[in-house]
Amino acid sequence: MTDHSSTEGSRATLVTAVETLTGRPPVQMDARHFMTGGIGRVNTADGALRLEAGDVVVTPSVVLIYEIPPGKRRDFEAFQRLLEQHGVNSLGLDADASRTATEKNLTVDQFVLDNVPHMETISLSRPTAELAADSFDELGGDVWARPVVGMGGDDVFHVTSHEQLRDAADYYATSELDWLIARDANNVNHGGLRHQYRVVVLEGRVVRACEHVQANPDAPCNEIQGAVSTVLDIDDLPAGLGQLAVSATKSLGLAFGGVDLALENGGVVFEVNVHPAFGSDGGLETVAIPYVEAHLAMLS
């Protein structure tokens, strides 16, 4: 079950993973039908749960939930809770964990409670110019601004001056977005390029690790914004980062997540992605197939 309006591409990889492991194609349902106001219906027949959306009717043994855009996840929560109440087999039913990871102010609050290392962050919601400026100065005058809920990095800004701060504040106010600023991690490699790691965790173990290197020092360090991603052998991940990634997913209550983190500052977590993109290089083998296997194991 994915949002069929998404162009991110995970759905096709998941379909391949299911076909590889079971020899059969999965039933594909559009998650939008089961969001607030959608046409989807949940019924029971002979004691079994049945999902209905238009002409598609299925009694699922396992439900794989993926590729739900961050801005739509609140509208999907009631359905997640309904599936959980019916005891459906799925790793994607914890609506509270999903919200905590999706809304970055909640992420930071949880990291503080659980002592998960992260860069000092201040949440802002329609702040006065004075409050925004004071917060910027408190964090050393070199910060990253981002919305509480976002995707792709187009609305993430590296802010190093009060003029840039005003521009960012105006952008978020016009877009009616709550936002945060976090102290810059100075995560720069020996070549002077900004870099960070993406570590995918599944049920407490690392299944994939990548390093992202960004030539533009003022752009987010992700592939959508031009960073170059290199898949690493898990054993080549810098010491401690794998366990830090596991701790971050555990803190948020996620069985699965893609953790963005840096080695600098003793190791810090930037965020945890609920539905990380699989990536074109080995994503099927390293993430999608283990993810489907974990769901199938719930049947035994």
How many CA atoms within 13 Å lie on the side-chain side of 81? 12
Cα of first residue to Cα of last residue in the chain, in angstroms, is 22
| Proportion of the chain above pLDDT 90, given as a percent | 91
Right CATH number for 187-295 from 3.90.1170.40, 3.20.20.70, 3.40.50.300, 3.30.470.20? 3.30.470.20
Q: Is the pLDDT of residue 280 over 90?
A: no
Instruction: Tell me what pLDDT residue 37 has.
Output: 96
Q: Is the pLDDT of residue 198 over 90?
A: yes
Right CATH number for 120-183 from 3.40.190.10, 3.30.1490.20, 1.10.357.10, 2.40.30.10? 3.30.1490.20
Radius of gyration of the chain (CA): 20
Q: Domain limits of the chain? A: 10-93, 120-183, 187-295
Cα separation, 258 vs 272, in Å, equals 5
Q: Which residues contact 21 (CB under 8 A, 6 or more apart)?
A: 289, 292, 293, 296
Q: Is the pLDDT of residue 139 over 90?
A: yes
Average pLDDT over residues 46-50: 86
| Proportion of the chain above pLDDT 70, given as a percent | 100
Tens digit of each residue's pLDDT (9 = 90 or more) over 218-233: 999 988 898 999 999 9
Tens digit of each residue's pLDDT (9 = 90 or more) over 234-245: 999 999 999 999
